[in-house]
A and B are shown apart, each in its own frame.
Chain A
Amino acid sequence: MHRWDFGPVWAHADLLLLGLWHTLQVTGTALAFGVPLGLALALMRLSPRRWLRWPAGLVIEVFRTTPPLVQLFWFFFALPILVRVEMTPFVAAALTFSIQSAAFFAEVFRGGIVSVERGQWEAGRALGMTPRQTLRRVVLPQAVKRMIPAFMERAIELMKTTTLVATVSYADLLFQANEVAQKTFRPLEVFTVAALLYFGVIWGVSLLAQALERRLAVSGEGAAQGGAG
């Protein structure tokens, strides 16, 4: 029977926490670039102009239908040779996950924008707004509210996907766990603690997301009733 000993894990808690910090950094960077880029891709894909619509569709489909690990390897091992730039694991990871999450966020944005009734666009036009003004002032604010559940789900998926950076030696939580496990010969304890750390953070975020969703659902209902009354 194995005798559990978490001592070596606590002794290296600083390394694991540093790894968690790096995980959050990659996730945050990918969100910071991925969300605006996703909005741009969604608007391009909804554009009446074909030269905007097609490239956006191509980027979205390619990044949604190829495995993220293949994308990461491509950006880390192949791209630096093509463009002759030195690529750090962090830059490769940030680049991959920004574009990849942008592809997914684009579909979330598109779904949100499409879900807003045609009448809202017509109302904007009737008030003398340009399509761009209608989008910004009337449609997007309503779309964003409806998108929040799907958006949170994608953000959580993104955080889980960032564990792939460990395979290109970026020192995220998983990579640090692997290092500590090798150093202490305690893989069972170390990987269990790492899994629990991930669980704690991700579960916390999804509980927050659910609470947010409930609050929005309540206020949305109120608005609908207000509209009917």
Chain B
Amino acid sequence: MAYRWNFAPLLDNADVLWVGALGTLRIFAICAVVGLGLGLLVGLARQSANGWLRRPATVFVEFFRNTPVLVQILWFYFALPILLPFDISPLAAAALGISLNSAAFTGEIVRGGIQSIERGQWEAGRALGMTPAQTMRRIVLPQALRRMLPALTNRGIEIFKMSTLASAVAYVELLQQGKLLASLNFNPIETYTVIAVVFFLCLFPLVQATYALERRLGRADS
């Protein structure tokens, strides 16, 4: 006998899923801003001539890129509060883990982007009497950011997918609310299918846009 799909309990509890969706959007927004912003700083620090900036940035990048993000989230949730005089909320732990992890990956994208700019651009800046910082801000970074755009949107998509890991520390987001509904209504098939479809519909256009962006930049560069 085939399974009989029934989406009625989900429609009745649409508000529960809506609360989850808002939670997903909230943590995504925090992590996208903090992760990409911090990543820019980390990438610049890794390019710095000053060893006091460069070395800590390298250690940070290597550590956060080479450990699983779920381990980082659980570390911030269970281990960090012992060192601190206050508790860490599920949102704070998940946002810390995902943001720092994304910052490490973004730092590498930024570094690659800056390195891809020809030496001549730096020399041109110097010839015009700009300081290295001015050259970086006005000449190199704007060009590098353009080249980095597809990789950065990819990071954004990864952050959106990673936001589901916040459910491991019981932060209220879409998957967490799905778990709740699935156990209340005994309908994991419909619930998890709907959640997968929601994520797919949110991300598929973004993925296609990234492909299109890659093709356009690829054409423009060649």
| Contact in complex: A202, B66 (CB < 8 Å) | yes
Q: Looking across the interface, which residue of chain B has its beta carbon closest to that of A182? A: B78
Q: Are B75 and A161 in contact (CB under 8 A)?
A: no
* A192 nearest CB across to chain B (Å): 6
State which residues 46-93 of B face A: CB under 8 Å: 62-63, 66-72, 74-75, 78-80, 82-83
Does A195 lie within 8 Å of B71, measured CB to CB?
Answer: yes
Question: What is the chain A residue whose CB lies nearest that of B1?
Answer: A84
B204 sits at the interface (CB 8 A): yes
Cβ of A116 < 8 Å from any Cβ of B? no
B3 contacts A77, C-beta separation under 8 Å: no
Task: State the Cβ distance, A74 to closest chain B Cβ, in Å.
Answer: 4
Interface-facing stretch out of B13-21, B32-40, B127-135, B193-201: B193-201
Are B175's CB and A69's CB within 8 A? yes
Interface residues of B (CB under 8 A from A): 3, 62-63, 66-72, 74-75, 78-80, 82-83, 157, 160-165, 167-168, 175, 178-179, 182, 188-189, 191-193, 195-196, 199-200, 203-204, 207
Bound CA–CA A202/B104 (angstroms): 15
Which residue in A64, A73, A191 is a CB contact (below 8 Å) of B75? A191
Once the chains bind, are B71 and A66 in contact (CB under 8 Å)? no
Q: Give min CB distance, B130 to chain A, whole Å.
A: 35
Contact assessment for A195 and B75 in the assembled complex, using a CB-CB cutoff below 8 Å: yes
Contact A74 B83 (CB under 8 A): no
The secondary-structure label for the interface of chain A is helix
Residue of A nearest to B72 (CB): A195
Asked if residues A66 and B78 are in contact (CB atoms below 8 Å), the reply is no
Q: 1/0 per position for A51-88, CB-CB distance to B under 8 A?
A: 00000000001101111111101100110011000000
Residues of the A chain whose Cβ atoms lie less than 8 Å from the Cβ of B163: 67
Q: Known: A66-B200, A192-B79. Is A81-B189 also a contact (CB below 8 A)? A: yes
- 10 closest cross-chain pairs (CB), A and B: A77-B188, A160-B68, A187-B78, A67-B161, A163-B68, A67-B164, A78-B189, A188-B79, A191-B79, A74-B192
